[in-house]
Amino acid sequence: MEKTLIILKPDAVQRRLLGKILSRFEEKGFQLLGLKMIQIPESLARRHYAMHEGKDFFEPLIRYTISAPVLVMVLKGKNAVEIVRKMMGATFGSKAEPGTIRGDYALSNRFNLIHGSDSPTNAEKEIGIFFRKEELFEYNPADIQWLYDMSTGDIV
C-alpha cells in the first residue's frame, strides 16, 4: 500500500471542481488520510518546485501556485502513485486523454488543475512538506475486502 500527495491547484479551486475531482479518487477506492485547504506561501512553492528552477516556466508556475488557495490531500491504496497519475492524465490539458481529470476538465498547458507525486519516494517527501504527522489519519476502511482480493492474506 502506498501513499501519495495530491494538490488540487488554484484553477481547480476557482472553477469549483474540488468535489468532482475528489469523488473520482473516492469512487476508485482510494483511502483519504488527510485533507486541508491552504494558501501556499511563495517560499513553500519554490521549495516544492525547486527541480524546475531556472526553466522558463518556473516563475509563471510559482505565480500560479500562490495565486489562490489549494486543496492538499493524502491518498492511500495499492500502487497509489502510478494509478493516480494515470487518472490525472498528461501534464498538458490540451494533450490529456478524455476520461482523465485533465482530459475532462483542462484545456491549458499551464493551468492543469492537479499535482500528484511522481514516485513513492517523492510522495513521502511531499507529504512531509504539507502535513504534520497528527494531521494524517490511519484507519481500516470497511470496504477494503471489496476493493482488493485478500484471499491469500495479501492485498492483491
Helix axes 18-28, 80-88, angle to 10 degrees: 140
CA–CA separation, 10 vs 63, rounded Å?
A: 10
CA–CA separation, 14 vs 68, rounded Å?
A: 8
Helix (H, G, I), strand (E, B) or coil at 34: strand
Phi-psi region of 99 (alpha: psi -120 to 50; beta: other; left: phi over 0): left
- Which of 46, 93, 115, 126 is catalytic? The answer is 115
| 115 classed as catalytic | yes
CB 57 within 8 A of CB 111: no
Active site residues: 115
